[in-house]
Amino acid sequence: MRLDRLKLRNFRNFNDTDLTFPNRANLFVGPNGGGKTNLLESINYLSVAKSHRGGRDRDLIKFGQESLRVEGTGKSDHGQVKVEIALTSQEKRIWLNSSQLSVSELVGTLPVVPLSSDDIETTRGAPLLRRRFVDMILSFLKPSYFAALLSYRRALQQRNRILTDAKTYNKRYESIESWDAQLIQFGSELIRFRMGFASELSRLASEYYEQIAAEGESYELTYVPSFPVEESSIEDSFADHLRKSRDLERDRGMTVVGPHRDDFAQRLNDKDMRRFASEGQQRTASTSMKLAGAELVHEGVGEWPIVLFDEVFAELDSERCERIGKAIDKFDQVFIATAKLETIPHLQFDKFFVEQGAVRTAG
């Protein structure tokens, strides 16, 4: 997968920007606050129609403007791909090759995997961050996973509303059983997908960790569902644990078991990385996991996703940076943003200088 052209109008601090990328490796360099991260964000926006940095959609619109537009033209093994997204405070509209479609239909057409210096939190931070990454990669690979994820979230939201009302107003909740059925159905699908996916992610992440760290350490990622489960009886186990958690749910006013509480534990030399790994080891682990996810997309759909690096290299020693550079040499296309050119691996880049929302080709 390659992005050949990017056009922005009123996206973050950019007015009208039109960039072309004839080569596979692209470097955005410039002072902090100039817009490098915003450019990477716009590329990822073409993939999933939302910001990977969080926040509200309307915050993407340049201050003082009422709308934005992002257009990306690229190519895959299946031909030309053109994604257009128009956003106002009232609506979001998406087109793929001039045909309008929904967000769920967009996901997977232009896969992008973003990495940033904040990714250390995917190792030492909350389980939500690890689940979010796994959900993204699986959604690229399996449209049925993304459909089940959306359905599960809807059922969970409705079920939690009933539980919250029951706690707040001391109401009965006879209607919760219908949402139980949907939670079990779609949640079991997610668990089944995750069980098979985790071992493959661990395999590749371990290989990347060994390649980047080069210190003979043993990395492992393990799926930790919120309740004990066997693949042959996921639905029954889920239903049983929902029944057993009724009193706790009533006290807390929320659903306490299910894939929204899962984790993906990372261990180094058989020790919990959140507690016993150094910052350098944690950063290497998070980078390895993201690169492994990108490779799984390649294995699953036959094409490499576009990979973004936002100040990733500034936080690692030069040896690890060079090893990452060698590891990503096989990727179809990468975009790297940095304020410190000296930290970047020795690759053949097209360089773009970014400052105050303006971009020019750098010599």
What would the 3-class secondary structure string for the chain be?
CEEEEEEEEEECCEEEEEEECCCCEEEEECCCCCCHHHHHHHHHHHHHCCCCCCCCHHHHECCCCCEEEEEEEEEECCEEEEEEEEEECCCEEEEECCEEECHHHHCCCCCEEEEEHHHHHHHHCCHHHHHHHHHHHHHHHCHHHHHHHHHHHHHHHHHHHHHHHHHHHCCCCCCHHHHHHHHHHHHHHHHHHHHHHHHHHHHHHHHHHHHHHCCCCCEEEEEECCCCCCHHHHHHHHHHHHHHCHHHHHHHCCCCCCHHHCEEEEEECCEEHHHHCCHHHHHHHHHHHHHHHHHHHHHHHCCCCEEEEECCHHHCCHHHHHHHHHHHHHCCCEEEEECCHHHCCCCCCEEEEEECCEEEECC
How far are the Cα atoms of 181, 186, 243 from residue 164, in angstroms, in the given order? 19, 22, 17
Q: The tokens of 168 are what?
A: 């707040």
Binding site members for ATP: 30-37
Q: The tokens of 335 are what?
A: 């975009």
151-163 exposure pattern, b = at least 16 Cβ within 10 A, e = fewer = bbeebbebbbebb
Binding site members: 30-37
